[in-house]
Amino acid sequence: MAQALRAVEQTVGGTQIELGLNAAIVSVREQQPQILVVRPSEVESSEWDALPFGPFAPRAHRTLEIGLRAWVKQQTGLDLGYVEQLYTFGDRGRHAEPGDTASHILSVGYLALTRGAGEELHGSHWSPWYAYFPWEDWRQGKPEIFRDEIEPRLKEWAERSPLPDEPVRPLRRSERLKVGFGIGGGFDEEKVLERYELLYEAGLVTEAARDGRSAARQWVDLPELGRPMEFDHRRILATAMGRLRGKLKYRPVVFELLPPEFTLLELQKTVEAISGTLLHKQNFRRLVEQGGLVETTGNVSTETGGRPAKLYRFRREVVLERPAPGLRVKAGRA
């Protein structure tokens, strides 16, 4: 991979800097959000997934996004559509050892959305994003892993004395659990990254043990909290999930995941899959129709199992009519 294109490198204070590009590519299949993952060739013995990634090569790519698209096409065969930059992850590798002389990588994360239809993939496969974050899917109520594993262990962690290397924070651990996980408060579906960071800090995810974090050594039996990922890619994926969940409310991005024609039920199930919550059917339909987000096509679908359902399409004019044409929905009973 690194031989195909040379990464941009710069020496700062005696440390070599490289710029990496990472893509969290999302599709929805059979009412499940999917992430496109690869197995990095430089970690041949690993069984962990990774997001498509590669170095930025300024002589080959005029922009970061062009470089990202080129790497994704090369690694997976997928031509990306909707892409937006998430965040630059500049922390020194979480598993770095004292005296480490390797290059420091600045990772630029991206969120990409695709219908994924008709694309022949190679060197990659789709994987459910709730396999990496099983505590984020509340469509069937509070997840068992949250109730049986995460909540009791985090409460136990909140009562422990801070470790010597733990930074001083303005909020107590119990207060942070209330904000991030809703323990003792309300659950905010957008705080995906905050929840993963709390689990990492508490030493409850596999990556914390891999990186030699002292908090992980305090647990006798480390639970299996979701599928781990290479490098810091689960952290990047958590950022992408939170961004997409939030963006549903003020941008019509959900239509990037739907076919040109769809039923209102398909639209609702896609929103529910991304947000991890159930929505009140009638309230959702009223919000969509009154918001002018869709229009009927005149066609019907006979695949619903009941009477034919009307087919709709995204009404593109809405982006010119309102500054924030999203789906400001609230969780409810189906």
CATH number at residue 52: 3.90.79.10
Residues 175 and 269 in one domain: no
Show the tokens assigned to 288: 């969509």
Helix (H, G, I), strand (E, B) or coil at 83: strand
Residues 52 and 104 in one domain: yes
Examine residue 20 and state whether it is found in any structural domain, yes or no: yes
Residues 211 and 268 in one domain: no
Question: Which residue is it, tokens 């499940």?
Answer: 32
Helix (H, G, I), strand (E, B) or coil at 34: strand
Last residue of a domain, one of 96, 112, 130: 130
Nearest to 128 by CA among 232, 262, 226: 226
Q: What is the pLDDT along the chain (334 residues), one digit of tens a residue?
A: 333 334 445 555 556 888 899 999 999 999 999 999 997 665 555 689 999 999 998 888 899 999 999 999 999 999 999 999 999 987 765 655 566 777 778 889 999 999 875 567 888 999 999 999 999 999 999 999 999 999 999 999 999 988 877 778 888 999 999 999 998 778 899 999 999 999 999 999 999 988 888 899 889 888 899 999 988 999 999 999 999 999 999 999 999 999 999 999 999 999 999 999 999 999 999 889 888 999 999 999 887 667 889 999 999 999 888 877 888 776 654 4
Examine residue 246 and state whether it is found in any structural domain, yes or no: no
Please state the domain count of the chain: 3
Show the tokens assigned to 21: 């590009």
Nearest to 107 by CA among 141, 68, 73: 68
Helix (H, G, I), strand (E, B) or coil at 55: strand
Residues 195 and 283 in one domain: no
Show the tokens assigned to 180: 């991030």
Radius of gyration of the chain (CA): 21
Residues 6+ apart with CB under 8 A from 186: none
Residues 105 and 27 in one domain: yes
Residues 71 and 180 in one domain: no
Residues 94 and 61 in one domain: yes
Residues 6+ apart with CB under 8 A from 124: 36, 37, 38, 52, 75, 76, 77, 78
pTM to 2 decimal places = 0.90
Residue 282 is part of which domain span?
Answer: 253-321
Examine residue 214 and state whether it is found in any structural domain, yes or no: yes
Q: What are phi and psi of 83, to 5 degrees?
A: -140, 140
Helix (H, G, I), strand (E, B) or coil at 219: coil
pLDDT at 106: 86
Residues 106 and 211 in one domain: no
Q: d(Cα 266, Cα 272) in Å, to the nearest integer?
A: 10
Examine residue 244 and state whether it is found in any structural domain, yes or no: no
Residues 184 and 121 in one domain: no
pLDDT at 190: 95
Total count of residues recorded for the chain: 334
First-to-last alpha carbon distance for the chain, in angstroms, is 47
Examine residue 184 and state whether it is found in any structural domain, yes or no: yes
Question: Where does residue 197 fall: left (phi above 0), alpha (psi -120 to 50 degrees), or beta otherwise?
Answer: alpha
